[in-house]
Structures are given as C-alpha cells and as structure tokens.
Structure 1
C-alpha cells in the first residue's frame, strides 16, 4: 500500500524534495554553527586560548590575595610548609609555571604547522576536553614541586618576561611601520594627505599634553628627581624622534614618531605609576588609590590589558620576520590552505606571557608581598618600563636612519637611470 502511494506521487514532488534537501545542505554548510562549532576553526581557537589565559591570571590573583582563607587544605602538603610556600607570591609562581608548561607543550606540538590539512591543525583547534584536562593537571602539579625549584623558575621568569616585552615591542613597531608605509604610498597619500597630516599633528600634541600632565601630577616639588628624570627624558626622546623624521616629512614622516610618542608617554606613565605608593612624589597616585572602587577598576583594566597584549602579539606571527626598516616590501600572497597565523609562535608568546603576568603580580620580586588589588608595583617594575621606553626609541630611530638610507639609494638609482636614458 505504501509503495502504491509512493508510485502515485507526481514527479514534481520528488524534484521539489531534492531541491529542498540541496538548499538545506547548503544552509548547513554555510551556517555559523557549522563554521564555528563543527570542525577545526583556528579563528575561534585563539579566543578560547585567550580565555584560558585570562582564567589563569585570575586564579593566580585569587591565590595571591585570598588564598590564605580559601586554600587551608594546602597545609597538608609537605612542600607547602604550612601553606606559606604555596600562597602569596610563590603561589603566583606555581600557577604561572603550570600555565607555562601548558602553552609550552602546545608550542612543541604545533610549531611548524603550515597547512590546514596537517593533523596538528586539528590538535590546535579541537580536542578541547583533552586540553582542559591537561590545563587542570598543570594547575595542580606545581603545588607538589619543592619550593627551591619554584624560586628557580621565578628567576628564569625574569628572562621570559623580558623576552615577552621584546616581542611585544617588535610587534608594536612593526604595526607603526606598516601604517606609516601605507601613508607614504602613492595610493593613499595623494587622497589622504590632509588626514595624515592632521593625525600626525594630533598624536604629537597628545604626547606633549600627556608629558605636561605628568609634570603637573607627579612633580609636586623639585625633590622628585626620579620623576623629573623620567618625564624629561621622555620629552627629549620625543623631540629626537621628531627631528629624525624631518628629512622624510614629505610623505607623512611625522606619523611614526607621533604614534611612538604616545606609546613612550604611556610607558613613562606606567613606570611612574609602578613606583611604591609610599613615595611623596606620588601623592596624586596615592590619593587616587585610596578609593577602593578606582583601585579595583584599575586592577581589572590592567589584567585585561595583559591578556589583550598577549593575544594581539601572539596572532602577529610575522613580527619576528619583519626587518626593522621603513621600506615596504611586498610578500607573496598566501595560499588558501595555509594556516591563518603561526600556531607555534602563538603558543610561545602565551608561554612567555605566563612568565610576564607572574612578574607583574609579584612586582618582579618573588619574595615581595604585594598589597591586595595591586599589580606591577615596585622600583624594579618602574625601571623595566623605563628601559623598555628607551629601547623602543632607539629601535625607531634606527628605522628612520635605515629608511633615509634606502630613500637616498633609490633616488640615486633613479637619477642614474635618467642619465643612462
């Protein structure tokens, strides 16, 4: 009876059903759920890794500030010595070490991945239950490690955090160079020369205003020698970068020093804010931190800034391949089957970022006791920021010099061709 009914059905229904199935299949293939939930998706994976990194940072902070009340069970562990060696600054180092192990393992297992068909692409973008179990295991294992080894890791973390700052600096300068190259190109400069000029002037004036405000806030009297040194050196570096760009001002040469000026002003402000709040020259900062809500907001912003900086640097897998020059060099177009970013470099940056956030939480001193809701406070943190500022300026000045040399060589070659012709 069923077969008879099916035979009596018109052919148009069959073709209609077939067409409906095709439309449904096409919808499933193009749907967001299929792209983001089914199969490996490197674009989504990087956000999940960033979320894992954020949770790890919050876990380290909670152990540092509130671990004594919540983790009384650690007293049973022999290596914790009554929980003294597993909480506070050393607790941060243990969490950081576990995070470093997780991302370093991911680095070793994904480095060199170039094609989407590679099995390591699936490992990077999928297998989340397995990786969550690994992450939990790496969070627990460091609490069974002797304190002497953890202190050794704390010393090594200084170099890892320095490497992270260096990679981040190269990434920032690479972006500024890329933007400056685009503004210098014939394609964009002729159409947007006034916008480029306005942006250059705005960034330069914003840097001057920032330096002026730091003089007002952090130099209440002439006895604040360090603050005067830091702010004045920032002003001098800004002028040196601007003077170095004068020969190339024909094509928006002031844009790069303007953008870098904002960056070094931010580094100088961060350095002064990292000074111990007991200093008389930081009365303005001390008054600000007296408000609990402002302290909490500043802390949350600082933690999010760590995660964002690590994430943005990690996806810039080509920053180590960029030569420190202002000359725009075209690269070959990437094929569709290549990975969107370097997986190994991505995980390596997160591994170094694990050491970096540990240094911020302990003030670059593994034996330092940090007040609650504070981050990156101490004279070591201050000098790290200042040295980073000076290195950034030297690198940018070297880039300006290299650009001028390349520009002179190109002009000489053009004149030589004219003479020959």
Structure 2
C-alpha cells in the first residue's frame, strides 16, 4: 500500500510539474528544478548588491566609513562593503546547506524546504544581508581571510566539474552506440578546438607582448603552449588513448585561463595593449563587466547541479522518488561561490585600490588564474593516468599462477 501511494503521489507531483504554470509551481513548492533558478536569481542579486556597494556605496552608506579601519582608507571601503554583502549571501547559503544536506527523497520535509517556503527564505536572505552591514569590522576581516580559502575551494570544485564533463562527452562520443554516428562530429569539434587554441595563443602574443621586455607575458603564453602540447602527447599515448577531443577541449579551457590571467594584470601595465585601449569607462568596459558577472553566476549555477561528479563511488540504482540533484552540494557551491565573487570584485586583495566597472583585476588575480591553469593541467593529467597506474598496480599485485 505504501509503495502504491508513493507512486501515485509521485505521478501526481510530476503531472503538476508538466501542467501547472511556473507561478503555481513556485507557490506549491512542487518543482526542485525551478527552485534552482530562484536561488540563482538571489545569488545574482547579492552580486549586484556587492558591486553597487563597492562602486557607489560611499554616497549611499556614508556611515560605513565608521565601520572600517582597513589600511587603505577610502580605497579599502569598497572592499569592506563587498565582503559584507558576500558574508550575508554566504550565511544564507550555508544555512541552506546545513538544512538540506543528506536529502535523498522527494516529498519529504527537507525537499519541501528546498523547493518552497520562498517568503521565509527571501526574508531570511534580506535579514542576513542587512545584518552583515552591522557586523563589527574585525569579523569582516576574518571572513575576508576565510573567503580566500573558500574561493579556492570553489575553483577546485569547478575544475573537477569541467574535467568530468569533458570526460563524459568524450566517453559518450566514443561509446559503441555513438562511435559511428559521432565520428565526423568528434573530428570537427576536436579540430575546431585546436584551431581556436592556436589562434588564441597567436592573438595573445600580438595583444599582450608589446616588445621583448614583456618577459612575464611571454612566459605565460609560451608555457601555455607547452602545456597544450604536453596534454596532447599524453592523451594520444597508446596506453592512455584519451583521444584528441579531451585534450582539445582542455586546451580551450587552459588557453582561456591564460587569457583571463593576462587580462587581470593592472591596466596601466604597458605590455597590456588591450587594457590600455579600454581603460576608460566606455560601453565596451561596461559590457565586459556585465558579461563577466553573468558568467560567474552561470558557472556557479552549472557547477552546483553537477554533484554526480563527486559521487562516482556510489553504485545505487536511482529510483523515481530520488531528488534530481544533491541539494546540499548545490547550496555548498553557492556558499563558496559567494566567497568567490567577493574575491573577484576586490581583486583577491582587501587592500587593493578598486576602480569602477572592473572585475578580477590586479596582480593577485593574475597569479590566481595562472595557478588555476597549471592546477587544471595537473588534475587532467592525473585523471587520465590514474586508471593506467591502478591497472598496472593490480597486475603486479596478482599472484603468479
């Protein structure tokens, strides 16, 4: 009887998901997939609040000058405001993480809490955001130190998620079922990836190497080319056989990280021609800022629903009443994402002089991106070599017959 009632309730639940409007699903807490977008909008609102406080907070929050005692004075007031907005967002998502972690079945109390009770949760988010601006400055500085670590955790989780997606796509395209039908598509995609990588490296030499004295940029770009060649050689080794597609897509990601690192260098650096050309607050600068902000929210959103990449050790067969994604992991990613957007808006340095309409700028940001690039290559190489190393170890451990 219980099983029959459960299946009936699930069928009724999913019929509601298909037939009802988004507003009805929002009100009745019937759709955990729709709930993701509401959390993403709240996260975006926190991002916009942090940006507004950073760039225009001195006019709206004159009393904030009494709340901060950082070394940079007025130049540091923006960083203090960003950390306060980030702390309110982090507190909300860490509460959601604690209250939803371990949720495995639909139609349970914690599932309803995750997908509903929006008036309560929005009110909680507003209250926590307001309280964060009343917290004593020493606590904010402690949070700023912790946020550096939390942002690093976010980058690591995002990196594993991206590599997991690339590996999944490669396995799917080369599976027995899709190998023939996807053969041409794989060749075109892999070739396009390598062409874009080479063109990107050439453009970086043109844009960011004004002369032979730009040794650091020459090193960043040249080493990226070496890493691309290294990943390709390892992937095509007969014992690895990871195919062109994985190394090509990883090459795109590595070249992108190198470009982001050089873009993060201070605009006054004479080697950064593109930064000098767009140093003013023109429409291109504003568009770049908006795109970067939206990209950050989308990256957090897509990483948050990819909890399966950290559950590969589980072999339980999914059932109809299982939750569609890990609620706790989802909120954990958004909590660390709150720390990450704070680091981007202050350039990973609480004593950094911040300019309006800039994001992820400064030498600290540049080196964080470069280290992230090198770490990405190391993790990728480890993920393709680990199965071979494990198989060889198992072969040596087997007793001779």
Q: TM-score, normalised by structure 1?
A: 0.84
Question: 1:284 offset after TM fit, Å?
Answer: 2.3
Question: 351, 356, 377: which is aligned to 2:340?
Answer: 356
Match of 2:227 in 1: 237
Q: Is the 8 A contact 1:276 1:378 kept in 2?
A: yes
State the superposition RMSD in angstroms.
Answer: 2.7
Q: Is the 8 A contact 2:85 2:129 kept in 1?
A: yes
Asked if 1:32 corresponds to 2:14, the answer is no
Match of 1:380 in 2: 364
Asked if 1:133 corresponds to 2:117, the answer is no
Distance 1:116 1:195, change over 3 A: same
Q: Is the 8 A contact 1:40 1:121 kept in 2?
A: no
Question: What CA distance in whole angstroms lies between the structure 1 residues aligned with 2:300 and 2:215?
Answer: 33
Deviations 1:22-52 (A, max 9, x none): xxxx998852325554333111111000000
Q: Is the 8 A contact 1:224 1:281 kept in 2?
A: yes
Asked if 1:222 corresponds to 2:212, the answer is yes
For the residue of structure 2 that corresponds to 1:318, the secondary structure is helix
Distance 1:403 1:205, change over 3 A: farther
Question: 1:354 offset after TM fit, Å?
Answer: 0.6
Q: Is the 8 A contact 1:362 1:376 kept in 2?
A: yes
Q: Is the 8 A contact 1:79 1:85 kept in 2?
A: no
Q: Is the 8 A contact 1:113 1:339 kept in 2?
A: yes
Match of 1:122 in 2: 112
Q: Is the 8 A contact 1:80 1:143 kept in 2?
A: no
Question: 51, 68, 73: which is aligned to 1:61?
Answer: 51
Question: 1:59 offset after TM fit, Å?
Answer: 0.5
Larger CA Rg, structure 1 vs 2: 1
Q: TM-score, normalised by structure 2?
A: 0.88
Question: What CA distance in whole angstroms lies between the structure 2 residues aligned with 1:112 and 1:89?
Answer: 35
Question: 268, 283, 286: which is aligned to 1:296?
Answer: 286
Question: What CA distance in whole angstroms lies between the structure 2 residues aligned with 1:136 and 1:248?
Answer: 56
Question: 1:322 offset after TM fit, Å?
Answer: 4.0
For the residue of structure 2 that corresponds to 1:279, the secondary structure is coil
Asked if 1:262 corresponds to 2:246, the answer is no
Asked if 1:79 corresponds to 2:67, the answer is yes
Question: 353, 369, 376: which is aligned to 1:392?
Answer: 376
Question: 1:296 offset after TM fit, Å?
Answer: 0.2
Q: Is the 8 A contact 2:231 2:247 kept in 1?
A: yes
Question: 1:191 offset after TM fit, Å?
Answer: 2.4
Alignment of 1:67-216 (within 5 A): 67-72=57-62, 74=64, 79=67, 87-216=77-206
Asked if 1:336 corresponds to 2:324, the answer is no
Deviations 1:48-103 (A, max 9, x none): 0000000000000000000111223556xx6357x969941101001111111000
Question: What CA distance in whole angstroms lies between the structure 2 residues aligned with 1:60 and 1:344?
Answer: 25
Question: What CA distance in whole angstroms lies between the structure 1 residues aligned with 2:328 and 2:176?
Answer: 36
Q: Is the 8 A contact 2:189 2:245 kept in 1?
A: yes
How many residue pairs are counted as aligned between the two chains?
A: 380
Structure 2: any 5+ residue segments left out of the alignment?
1-13, 396-401
Deviations 1:373-395 (A, max 9, x none): 00100111011101111111111
Q: Is the 8 A contact 1:116 1:338 kept in 2?
A: yes
Asked if 1:346 corresponds to 2:330, the answer is yes
Q: Which stretch shows the higher mean deviation, 253-262 or 64-73?
A: 64-73
Structure 1: any 5+ residue segments left out of the alignment?
1-25, 324-329, 413-421
Q: Is the 8 A contact 1:189 1:251 kept in 2?
A: no
